[in-house]
Every structure is written in C-alpha cells, then in structure tokens.
Copies of this chain bind each other. A is one copy, B any other.
C-alpha cells in the first residue's frame, strides 16, 4: 500500500502532451535539479525493497535473525513448496561424498557460528528467488575471511564434497542454489569495504558486500557504483561479478569486464589467486581475472573485488515516453544517441502488457496515455542546465516529428524513483501473474521485438501473458511468458523455439543472466562446439574434481 500511494501521487511532475511540451521547451528549461534531490535516501529504498520482496514472495519474510537482518526466512507450507530440481528435471546426482559428522565437526571448529544445519533456516538458501528450483543442501557455511574460504575449499576438494557458492541468491537461472545436497558457501558475512581511493575512484571490497550498500557508501563520497540493477538491495558484488551482471547503467559505464580492475579468487583446491590490483592499466601477462567474471561459481569463489567507480553525476533527469510502434522506439533511440550523446545513461523499453501487469498487480499508475510501447530515458551529467537543455531539445524534436506521442519528465528524486519503479518492478509483477518462463536474449535491435510477436503467435492461448521489455540500448530483450503453473508441454512449445529463433539472428540466449542450471544445455545455440569444448578444458584444469557448482553453466563433458 505504501508503494502504491507513493505512485499515485502525481503532484509536481510535468506530464506533457506535444503542445505543452513544445511550450515548455520554448519558455523554460526543466524544473531545476540539484544533486541533493537526486540522492535517494537509503532507508526509504531499503524499506521499499523489503516490502517489494515480501510482496513478491508472500510466504517469505524479511526479518532480523541469527543469519543477519537481510536473510530470508520462510514460512512455507508443504503445499507451497517448490518441486525439487532433481525431480522436475530428472537429474542424476554425481558421485560426490556426503557430508559426515566429522565434516561438520571440522567446519564448526574452523568457523564457529558460521555453520548452519537447521532445516528451517536452510530452506530459503535452497530455493531461488523465482521459486522455480529447489535443492536439498543440509549445510550452509558462512565464512568471514578469504583464508576461511580457502580452508573450506581445500577440505572439500580433498573430501570430494560439492560446493555451491552463493551471494544474494537473486540469480534468475537457477545457478545460485544446489541441485542436490551441495554445501552452500555463502559470502553474506564477507561484507567489508577494504579501501576506497577518492582520487582514482577505485573501491576494493569483500565479495559479500550488498550492491546497494556499496552505492550508498560511495554516494556519501560523491561517487557511485558503475552498475545498478533491480536486485541491488540483496545481490552481492561477488554475485554480480560471478554472473557478469549488466543492468541499468551498462549503457553508460560499460560492462564489468572494463570496470572490474581486480579480483581475489579461491580455486577449487583452496589456493588463493591474487589478482586484486587497483590499477586502471596492467598488461603484465594474461588477464586471468576475466575468466572468473561470468563463470557463475564454477571456476572459483570470488572473495574480493576491485572496481572503478564513476563520480556521482551532478544532475539526473528522467523521461518516460509513450510510443506507437517498435520501429519508432528504434528511431527515437538513434535520435537520442545523437542529441543526448555523452549524458545518456539509460534507454529502457517495455510493452503495453508489461504496463498492464505493473498496474494490475502492483497498483502502480501509468503516468502517460495508453500506448503500445513505453520508453524510459535517463540522463546523468555534470551540468544541470546543459543537461536539461539537451533533454528539452531532444524531446521537442521527437515530439514534433511524431516519434513519441506522449511523455512525462520527473524533476525530483521521489518521482524519478516512481517512474523507475514502472520498469524495475516488472520482474516482480510477473511473479504475481503465475509461473514465469524467463528469457534474457541479445539480438540485433531491429529484430528485438519480433521475437515477442512470434512467440505470442506461436503460444496462442496456452500462455497467460507473453511480454517484452529490457535494456534496448544494449540490444537486450527480456522475454517473459507466464502461465497458471509450470507445465512441461508449455516449456516444450517455448524451447527450443526461442533459442532457435535467437540463433537464426545470431543473438545470445543469455545476454546478462548467465546459463546457471536452466540454460546450460542450450549453450550451443550461441556458441560453436569448439568453444564449449575449450571451456570444458578450462573447467577441468581449474577444478579437476568438478566440486564447484556442479550441474551448472556447461553441459557435462562426457
């Protein structure tokens, strides 16, 4: 309720039709923005996300407890219980050892207080955020130091015990929870900032720092994290790096492959690989850290991250626009890149079905007139007046040419958040709609929406909703299909259709979410077999016993 009343309060927005917009552009610049108003207060955001999370997963509550205040606690009843992954997908357990009493004794001696075996406490760590896969781990370890992670892995490797590294457990491809009884190795207590250098903007921190906490920490020092995503209140920086997360700022600050300067990683045998440099440039030998970025916990456990952080922009502006066709979205994008240039920081789109879902399930309000498509454009820059002038000129141009038919511009932090919520909370709204089949596709932008249309036609009434949204600026579509419940028949109608369609246009079947458990068998739609073979060789070299996150990312080499 708190969220919806926040959304319905429109006072102070500038909601403009073409005529009013033109007037606006001629007579005044956008209402003044200050860096102060651009700061979102941390507490508000935390609360909002906690509410959000509680809503998404009605059976799951946030509470402070022995696992720390951000831990998830469940009150599952058996009827709500997610089917075991091994049963739903018919997976065979690999011949790893089982955790014995003497193993437990060893761990308890090593990290007193960091060993969880209580089945109730373990539940949320066995189920993914989407509640779509479930493992049956009997042991959660929460080390605080790299040395402890090293000792744990050395021991597990010797004992042939499988390990599932886990960060905030917000991954969307079933990579973050065990398939069977793998030991869950959580970074939740590895949450210390190691250093920040305000001249270079380089932050060094442990892998378990929550993304939003880091951003908050930096904002106070006039910097921001170079990435941002809807799960920021829960996901860990280590998890972000392990999944090579993209998110909402990639368009502006580039991928983690450029911004992550260093990593500390513990390999399967417990040896610590120290690539934790803070240098912007370092061409001494091969860049090993790159192999761990996006390796989804299968090659090593990331224990610390060094990352280049941009200055906090002085001015942030947001425009939310209505558009009549997808081709107009593309043309608007081209115009936007030209006219907003270096200040463009996000170009997101969503279709009308997404809007219907956030309106009906989350009680958010559509701030513009009904349209087949919506665009969210964010600018971040160093000069308020210049940025507003650029945005005004751009809006005037796209309205005059008819590319955009309606729009609204937010002029303070609260409204910016409200507009962002329409886009950021689609993932959540979908979970209310039923079981969600999620696809995270890269395609040439011209082709992006055709996949949604073709899937809709193909599935007809067997799907409840087929929606498209995503990071258009990066050529990244989130195609989501909802149904009353999970169904093998529906899955068969979707896959491999969606993958084949994507492969036909040389797209990627996972743009930013990774392959995890759910997509590992489809890698060949985006990668030639020689490259998969080479990946398997790397895996075999770094983790010969295969103890790290088994059943994930790569098809088995046999």
In the complex, the chain B residue whose C-beta lies closest to that of A246 is: B281
Bound complex: CA A476 to CA B293 (Å): 25
User: Which among B286, B381, B526 is the interface contact of A284 at CB below 8 angstroms?
Assistant: B526
- Is residue A537 within 8 Å, beta carbon to beta carbon, of the partner chain? yes
Bound complex: CA A531 to CA B265 (Å): 11
Chain A: residues with Cβ within 8 Å of the partner, total of 88
- Is residue A12 within 8 Å, beta carbon to beta carbon, of the partner chain? no
A255 contacts across to B, CB distance below 8 A: 258, 281
- Is residue A283 within 8 Å, beta carbon to beta carbon, of the partner chain? yes
- Using A279-B475, A340-B382, A511-B279 as known contacts, say yes or no to A527 and B284 having CB atoms under 8 A apart: yes
A278-297, CB < 8 A from B:
278-288, 290-291, 293-295
User: Which among B283, B294, B530 is the interface contact of A271 at CB below 8 angstroms?
Assistant: B530
Query: A506, B291: Cβ atoms under 8 Å?
Result: no
Bound complex: CA A331 to CA B530 (Å): 51
Bound complex: CA A331 to CA B138 (Å): 55
Query: A254, B243: Cβ atoms under 8 Å?
Result: no
A537 contacts across to B, CB distance below 8 A: 541
User: Which among B386, B471, B511, B538 is the interface contact of A282 at CB below 8 angstroms?
Assistant: B511
- Is residue A146 within 8 Å, beta carbon to beta carbon, of the partner chain? no
User: Which among B281, B284, B390 is the interface contact of A523 at CB below 8 angstroms?
Assistant: B284
Binds B, one of A401-409, A411-419, A439-447, A486-494: A439-447
- Using A281-B511, A290-B290, A531-B285 as known contacts, say yes or no to A382 and B390 having CB atoms under 8 A apart: yes
The digit string for A486-519, where 1 denotes a CB below 8 A from any CB of B, is: 0000000000000000000011111111110001
User: Which among B275, B382, B531 is the interface contact of A275 at CB below 8 angstroms?
Assistant: B531
A244 contacts across to B, CB distance below 8 A: 283, 287
The digit string for A266-277, where 1 denotes a CB below 8 A from any CB of B, is: 000001111101
In the complex, the chain B residue whose C-beta lies closest to that of A525 is: B284
- Is residue A383 within 8 Å, beta carbon to beta carbon, of the partner chain? yes
- Using A200-B445, A342-B343 as known contacts, say yes or no to A527 and B285 having CB atoms under 8 A apart: yes
In the complex, the chain B residue whose C-beta lies closest to that of A342 is: B342
Query: A523, B280: Cβ atoms under 8 Å?
Result: no
Bound complex: CA A338 to CA B198 (Å): 12
A102-149, CB < 8 A from B:
none
- Is residue A2 within 8 Å, beta carbon to beta carbon, of the partner chain? no
Query: A442, B386: Cβ atoms under 8 Å?
Result: no
Query: A314, B341: Cβ atoms under 8 Å?
Result: yes
Query: A283, B243: Cβ atoms under 8 Å?
Result: yes
- Is residue A70 within 8 Å, beta carbon to beta carbon, of the partner chain? no
- Is residue A36 within 8 Å, beta carbon to beta carbon, of the partner chain? no
Query: B337, A311: Cβ atoms under 8 Å?
Result: yes
Query: A257, B523: Cβ atoms under 8 Å?
Result: no
Chain B nearest CB, measured from A10 CB (Å): 31
- Is residue A215 within 8 Å, beta carbon to beta carbon, of the partner chain? no
- Using A342-B381, A534-B273 as known contacts, say yes or no to A283 and B510 having CB atoms under 8 A apart: yes
A509 contacts across to B, CB distance below 8 A: 284
- Using A199-B330, A199-B446, A528-B274 as known contacts, say yes or no to A286 and B281 having CB atoms under 8 A apart: no
Bound complex: CA A284 to CA B475 (Å): 15
Chain B nearest CB, measured from A167 CB (Å): 16
Chain B nearest CB, measured from A253 CB (Å): 8
What are 15 residue pairs bridging A and B, where the CB atoms are less than 8 Å apart in the complex?
Answer: A200-B444, A200-B445, A200-B475, A250-B281, A254-B258, A274-B528, A277-B506, A279-B506, A280-B474, A281-B471, A281-B475, A281-B508, A283-B515, A287-B294, A288-B534
Known: A197-B444, A311-B338, A386-B390. 13 other contacts (CB 8 A): A199-B444, A279-B442, A279-B508, A281-B474, A281-B476, A285-B531, A286-B299, A287-B290, A288-B535, A290-B290, A314-B341, A342-B380, A386-B386
